[in-house]
Amino acid sequence: MRIVLTGGGTGGHIYPLVAVARKLKEKNCELLFVGPAGEMEKKVMTEEGIKSKHIATGKFRRYFSFQTVTDAFKVPFGIMKALLILLIFMPDAVFSKGGYASFPVIVAAWIYRIPILTHESDSIPGISNRIIGKLSRRVAISYPRARRYFLESKVLLTGNPIREGINQGSKEKARQKLGLTEIKPVTLILGGSQGAQNINKAVTDVLPELLKSSQVIHQTGPIGYDEVVRRAAVAGIKAGREGYHPVPFIEAQDLSDFFAVADLVISRAGSNSISEIAANKKVALLIPLSNSANNHQSMNAYELAEAGGALVLEESNLGRHIVMEKINKLLTDTNLRSSMSKNIQPFYHSDATDKIITGIMDMVK
């Protein structure tokens, strides 16, 4: 069976594709990734041994940008190239992670009447996915709230597929790698695969105080790393010492170990991040991206908060005092920690990948 994978742009789209791809490989499917030529897409697909074809994609922005104009011209070229790629490969089905990166491929597949299964990971789908959902035969969703945006007969509630083994890390390996002690708790800070400037600044602003009560593992993003190290140095803290461990990017195996050792996770509120936190049953402080499409990160975060599974802090409210107040509460309030660890668990669906595989297989019977 031949399956095309499409999506990309962020780790939150790429890693679920990988989770599904690994299961499809077990069924001896021939896979082809078709999407943007980003560094992450190239790196991950090469590591996974998945053949790739790259096309032009265009992103619709909700703010004025000349790139929106130029991107509008990229989409037709992307569709034409996707039509050629699919004609040559002629897959039995397409699995799409959705978003602007998959749009040209979905249009091409729809023209050829190739069955499409799209995964919507957020509680509110973006414009691209609302259109893609109309062209898809099946739509897998992570949050029940997303059901209202698609034709009911197409919808399958699966949860979000996450990287295999992400919740099977080793505390001991993390301690050995970074020289962590067992005396102080560990705070793991994740700003997404690209990092988050506002989170980086908030962390470095409170770093001296934070290190009094916690060791810190801080994924800064490749672009933000040097600035974070500089700001920490200005505060008198050297990277890799005094319990502070900034890293540009955390690879999958290290991330599972860091999740295992963490007592608190501070993170963006992308669906993939929430699913991985839930899989590890961790106490979480979520800082949703303020300008995410359709405000989906805030919606994800508050859906979790309403269930008692996390605390939410808006990006516009990252003052030193409130940041430390939230962190100290989550590190020291035993009853709160226990209830949050329990309440976040339903947001992890251990069978999400298997349900998506079944959905793909059912389409091509």
Residue 195 shares a structural domain with residue 140: no
Count up the domains in the chain and report the number.
Answer: 2
For tokens 């989170």, what's the residue? 199
Residue 146 shares a structural domain with residue 185: no
CATH assignment at residue 101: 3.40.50.2000
Residue 103 shares a structural domain with residue 249: no
Distances (CA, A) of 268 to 116, 284, 319: 29, 10, 17
**Domain that includes residue 248, residue range:** 171-347
For the residues of 92-161, what is the DSSP string, one character each?
A: SEEEE--SGGGHHHHHHHHHTT--EEEEE-SSS--HHHHHHHHH-SEEEESSGGGGGGS-GGGEEE----
Residue 254 shares a structural domain with residue 119: no
Retrieve residue 174's tokens. Answer: 């993390």
Phi-psi region of 28 (alpha: psi -120 to 50; beta: other; left: phi over 0): left
Give the separation between CA 103 and CA 118, rounded to whole angstroms: 11
Could you read off the pLDDT tens digit of each residue along the chain, which spans 365 residues? Answer: 999 999 977 666 788 999 999 999 999 999 999 998 888 889 999 999 999 999 988 666 555 555 666 667 778 999 999 999 999 999 999 999 988 889 999 999 999 999 999 999 888 888 889 999 999 999 999 988 899 999 999 999 999 999 889 999 999 999 999 999 999 999 999 986 666 888 999 999 999 999 999 999 999 998 889 999 999 999 999 999 889 999 999 988 899 999 999 999 999 998 889 999 999 999 999 999 876 656 788 999 999 999 999 999 998 888 999 999 999 999 999 999 999 999 999 999 999 999 999 999 999 87
Residue 106 shares a structural domain with residue 211: no
